[in-house]
Chain A
């Protein structure tokens, strides 16, 4: 064990002697988080204020004077709807269209004169919805009115089943003709306090994972360079167990990556204001498991590629493709590419870190962790098998 630590310490010392590596591994992720987090902040919701819908100006021409009139008026004045639409009434169709064409209103509704009568007689009727230019506003108002009309449809169904007389009797006796927002669905939150992540949080997680993957590349290059610089030959002539050398080197690279992760987390927390959540132990597990996966890929590449240059080229390509597919550069890539992203280490590690940031339900985090553990385990076993076959010698 002591010799493993000596080799690990030597590995760390050599890393710290390479200024260019230090600059890339410590400085670059912080710079990328700043650039991407700032440049693409518009793509993300503001996590504190939430997304604000504009109030839609709606003009209603209500020709109905039947039993539903009171219910319609009550519905249009419901306080729950005030944040979404501002209702104005007109007396004629001409007036409505005049306002609509002048751009004074966003949406128009015409309720026919015989609306109540038609509903009660089980006949065909409907509201005329005049949509405006804004698709977003149209969706908001359409959804509100369709909700109301679905209740009216329900009443009409009763008419068809029970007959209009029976329904009218019910109306007159005990049916409370009041519109109510009733739902069988209770909307809750799977995240404790926070609804979504900011751009800074998103890129802090994705850049952390990307640079943790670079640790695997460093390990593979270090293994290869030890061979190229003939120091492996000397190390093998020392009184060491064969596995001591590779274990020491991997632990050295792992320790360097953990230091790198600590720096990224601390710097992004105190300088960029990134909130990493309060489950630091799980964050640590994600980091360690990502390093294990990265190192395993490193051993596999080292076993199949001959020089440190080819390892570097292939590993960099793998990292960038995985980071891109997982949405580490641009969050949304379309359905196909997003589904491919689920086959990357980056996706699961970043996703878990993001869920930890917003304090998601523990079931989600546990599921993600199971996937990360499985990926690490499979890659580690594969790397172990290949190492056992190929070995580490000059």
Chain B
């Protein structure tokens, strides 16, 4: 039985279709990664799941409850970690968490113990009486999470929770996500960082132009795309003509250039590697380094959408 069920959901803004007949099911206790470039429709989809936006068409159920008809009930069981930090700078960390805890209906001793637990969970116990204005970006992000998990929700939606923070805080957050999942929460996690999705998500959905274009576990998705290879070359210079020749090669799916680094996505590099090297030598380009990478989510994403996730 699915915990979250989206059935043929459509959302339009005037003539622009933001979510296009999205059908999706997420099981209980999953960490579901939602991938998509900016403007793909993932934030709109998340807002509709949270009951912040009404779908023009279709139905969404969370824990069997319709978001459309009973959004307040759905909201009781979810905790949203917004992409932007949403805390009060002039209240202490503890006051922030307590304020939102009260609004989630917590009272008395239960409130106090859950507030302390949430702060402990994100590693802010020692600084709970300080105002966030003194916090680093990573600490603010952690407080942002604490405010959403204080009531120990069944569903946690994390929208890019690691944007712009140091690696230490990122690892802390990723570890927290795993722990929350182990404690029984279902998690929807969006990120631009493929490695985060690969490392924590049990299931991944890729959304582009409002449509779900791939769905499955990380392994399943990579297997579907195992014929796709990525070759990274570091060269002495990059003539435009050479890039053009690479791009028009019938077996090469995509070429990206960054300074003296060229990344080539193609089907079966073993077969076509000699073609690439031939084109490079034709333009007198010397190869300093050549690296072949196994298929991953990033190459899959590029293969499916024709663009990088950060585009």
Contact = CB atoms under 8 A, between A and B. Distances in A.
A-side interface mostly: helix
B90 A14 contact: yes
B137 interface: no
B95 interface: yes
A78 interface: no
Given A6-B99, A236-B52, A239-B72, A229 B78 contact: no
A239 B75 contact: yes
A237 B75 contact: yes
Nearest to B107: A2
B86 A238 contact: no
B105 A239 contact: yes
Contacts of A6: 99, 102-103
Given A229-B86, A230-B82, A231-B86, A238 B91 contact: no
Interface string A1-15: 001001100100110
A18 B90 CA distance: 7
Contacts of A14: 88, 90-91
Contacts, number: 63
A17 B91 contact: yes
A240 interface: yes
Contacts of A231: 86-88
A234 interface: yes
A229 B89 contact: yes
Contacts of A393: 52
A233 B86 contact: yes
B73 interface: yes
Given A239-B72, A239-B104, A234 B86 contact: yes
Contacts of B91: 10, 13-14, 17
Given A3-B103, A6-B99, A230-B82, A237 B52 contact: yes
B100 A234 contact: yes
A241 interface: yes
B226 to A, nearest CB: 39
Most buried by B among A13, A18, A239: A239
Given A17-B90, A236-B52, A239-B73, A7 B85 contact: no
Nearest to A236: B52
Contacts of A18: 90
A230 B89 CA distance: 12
A240 B90 CA distance: 23
A230 B81 CA distance: 11
Contacts of A240: 72, 75, 103
Interface string B96-126: 0001101111000000000000000000000
B99 A234 contact: no
B76 interface: yes
Interface residues of A, number: 21
B146 to A, nearest CB: 12
B118 to A, nearest CB: 14
Contacts of B80: 233-234, 237
Nearest to A248: B103
A18 B82 CA distance: 26
B82 A238 contact: no
Interface in A8-29: 10, 13-14, 17-18
B50 interface: yes
A238 B100 contact: yes
Contacts of A17: 90-91
B104 A238 contact: yes
28 contacts: A6-B99, A6-B102, A7-B103, A13-B95, A14-B88, A14-B90, A14-B91, A17-B90, A17-B91, A229-B89, A230-B84, A230-B86, A231-B88, A233-B52, A234-B80, A234-B82, A234-B100, A235-B103, A236-B52, A237-B75, A237-B82, A238-B75, A239-B72, A239-B75, A239-B105, A240-B72, A240-B103, A241-B72
Interface of A: 3, 6-7, 10, 13-14, 17-18, 229-231, 233-241, 393
Q: Which 5 A-B pairs have the closest CB atoms?
A: A230-B86, A239-B75, A237-B80, A234-B86, A230-B84
